[in-house]
A and B are shown apart, each in its own frame.
Chain A
Amino acid sequence: MKQDSAIQVWGLSKSYRIGHRKERTLGGSLAGGLRKLLSTDREYELFWALSDIDLEVSRGQVLGIIGRNGAGKTTLLKLLSRITYPTRGHFSIHGRVASLLEVGTGFHPELSGRENIFLNGTILGMSRAEIRRKFDEIVDFSGVEQFLDTPVKRYSSGMYVRLAFAVAAHLEPEVLIVDEVLAVGDAAFQRKCLGKMGEVARMGRTVLFVSHNMGAVAQLCERVVLLEAGRIVADGATEEAISRYLSLSEIPGNGYIHRHGNRKVEFLSWELSHPELGPLTEFRMGDDLLICMRIRFNEKVDDLDLGLSLRNASGERITHLLNHDEGLRLSGMPGDEVLVKVQLPEVFLAPGRYAWSAGLEKFAEDFDVIEDALGFSMVQGGRPSRTTIYPGNVRVYLPGRWRAER
């Protein structure tokens, strides 16, 4: 065991049984037991949420854990927090650990703010004496002192979250394990939380931080581990791991939902990519987008319209682009193939899911229209250095030149 390591993990694996639920009832268990006696075939499958994780985190290091949903990030945190128990492998953690998988664990709606501070603080591992010592600070940080003796069920959700986070922020562990709990509250509060996290990190504590917010990861972490399908696929410098994560996103297939038209002119292929990173489905704000479409003329068509329409996850049309907008004319004879490339510099859409639809048409005649041909998502962590979540309903970011004059 090395002196300077805070966390050491050897071959950690976790499997879950899936598709075997009958055991939950007494009758089912009796029947299942009988069946097991009579035959040897198993009714369940094993799903490896995490396999063979080796990891060493040195003392004072701030490690980010990223990966797509289902990659095993939360399972890893739950194992290291001892909430769940490994199927194989072992690990050791040196020093006082606190894990924050949620803010406000154990809060009871009937109890007052004051009582909940003690309740939640104790649940997070503080002693009562410690809470008493930090009580004023916690109350100050939360900004709910007027309502300290009101049951928290009468709190607004904002107050509730602020109180909950205030307790968590005053933990003083040597090793802090944090899940995406910072994505709560309003922007000002998020900034406060993130500031507190940074403070914790600067104080030489070891931090494990799981997030989808690449901006926060880039700002806080010095090292990043990328998980994919329960394994570590990258481990190293933050920038590298983040771009690896972005390029891991699946390459778009021809996964459109609806396509129609008479195919006098048709799309042969279509692809969304990053000019340097190649085909992508996940972009950071401010990235360039490159759309490449190969079209074939099956009949002679003069001056057709190639339209690109962008919708967001709620189906709202964000923009519509036409070849004529930028002065490109498309005409062809039967058998002609043309590769159309559209480069969109510095796209500043708000974080979220989007899809491009593409259409070839002239007047009211649809030649080939593909709805939602190219899906992608926009994530934070590019040019705007904001690390908090954007408020709801934000559609775009407008890059500007800010300066202060006196």
Chain B
Amino acid sequence: MGIKRTIKVEAGRWPLLAGLREIAEYRDLLWVLAYRDYRVRYAQTYLGFAWALLQPLAMLVVFILVFSKAAGIATGSIPYPLYAMAGMTAWSYFAFVLGQSGNSIISAQGMIQKIYFPRLIIPLSKAIVGLVDFAISLLLILAMMLWYGFPFSANLWAFPFFLLVTLISSLGMGIWMSALTIRYRDLQHVIPFMVQFGLFLTPAAYPAEMVVSRLPEWGVVLYYLNPMAGAVEGFRWSLLGGAPPASYAWISYLTMGFVFVAGLYWFRRMERTMADIV
């Protein structure tokens, strides 16, 4: 309390950076909204929080059966379950944020039409909720590494970087989709498809070399336009070693940067009319 401040609003003026600074002032709201989503997620389910563990494990079993046993994909010195788990961890976070953010503004319309707060808080809170599952998956990876007696790779120094790449790709895409969906509601139906296809178009359950070596160059470039293609490769390489990201991966990192900046820009542009459109 006691903060003296002046609010100034002028038609036609919507500074980009001032809006970002405001997020810091509203951090309590960000935490509370994330907490709400987290609490509500497993409310009234029998297994409760155990779902956060069961989902990735079930997925892993399917991966092992399909990619390792049936298709016989080789992952070198890294045991396949560990290989797939690392890829899946990064990809699942992206899929979660994308899936949750798409509808986020629309489902928060009750709040948006009744009270002011930086709207960016909404997709941001989804990205925070996703971190819970992400952390659990990371712990699973650690447990599996212990089980297999598999050491961290020498590339661990790069892990923070690829972690950041994963988070930023997810957040950028989430922000962009949440803003786009309010104007183009069709995306509500497109996003689940993107998540489904993305799983196959991202080297989560298989090594990227398989794609790089079999596709023509333009196909590979297209493949790496997926920001998660490079992110997943780097994420796994920094943790477990194996093949470093392909030279094409820079396309992914560029896409990531573009998606993040464009997403923020687009969101800020839409922000002031959100209450009118939703």
Contacts and interface: CB of A to CB of B under 8 A. Distances in A.
A135 to B, nearest CB: 14
B204 to A, nearest CB: 28
Interface of A: 13, 16, 23-27, 29, 78-79, 81-97, 99, 101-102, 105-106, 108, 110-111, 115, 118-119, 122-124, 127-128, 130, 151, 172
A138 B33 CA distance: 21
A172 B115 contact: no
5 contacts: A94-B7, A95-B4, A105-B115, A108-B36, A172-B1
Interface in B157-186: 183-186
Contact of B39 (A83, A91, A115): A115
A115 B118 CA distance: 22
Given A25-B186, A110-B43, A110-B44, A105 B114 contact: yes
Interface residues of B, number: 38
A97 B114 CA distance: 14
Contacts of A27: 186
B4 A83 contact: no
B136 interface: no
A253 to B, nearest CB: 34
A123 B185 contact: no
Contacts of A16: 276
Contact of A122 (B1, B10, B32, B113): B32
B9 A85 contact: yes
A88 B12 CA distance: 8
B222 interface: no
B196 interface: no
A101 B43 CA distance: 29
A97 B252 CA distance: 44
Given A83-B275, A97-B7, A123-B111, A24 B185 contact: yes
B69 interface: no
Contacts, number: 110
Contacts of A102: 114
A110 B48 CA distance: 14
A90 B28 CA distance: 29
A90 B111 contact: no
Given A24-B185, A81-B115, A92-B7, A110 B29 contact: no
Contacts of A108: 36, 40
Contacts of B44: 110
Contacts of B47: none
A108 B117 CA distance: 18
B115 A130 contact: no
B28 A128 contact: yes
Contacts of A29: 183-184
B10 to A, nearest CB: 4
B1 A110 contact: no
**Across the A-B interface, the 10 shortest Cβ-Cβ residue pairs:** A90-B10, A85-B272, A82-B116, A122-B32, A86-B11, A92-B8, A110-B43, A93-B7, A105-B114, A102-B114
A122 B35 CA distance: 12
A16 B273 CA distance: 10
B51 to A, nearest CB: 16
B110 interface: yes
A24 B36 CA distance: 30
B5 interface: yes
B189 to A, nearest CB: 11
A122 to B, nearest CB: 4
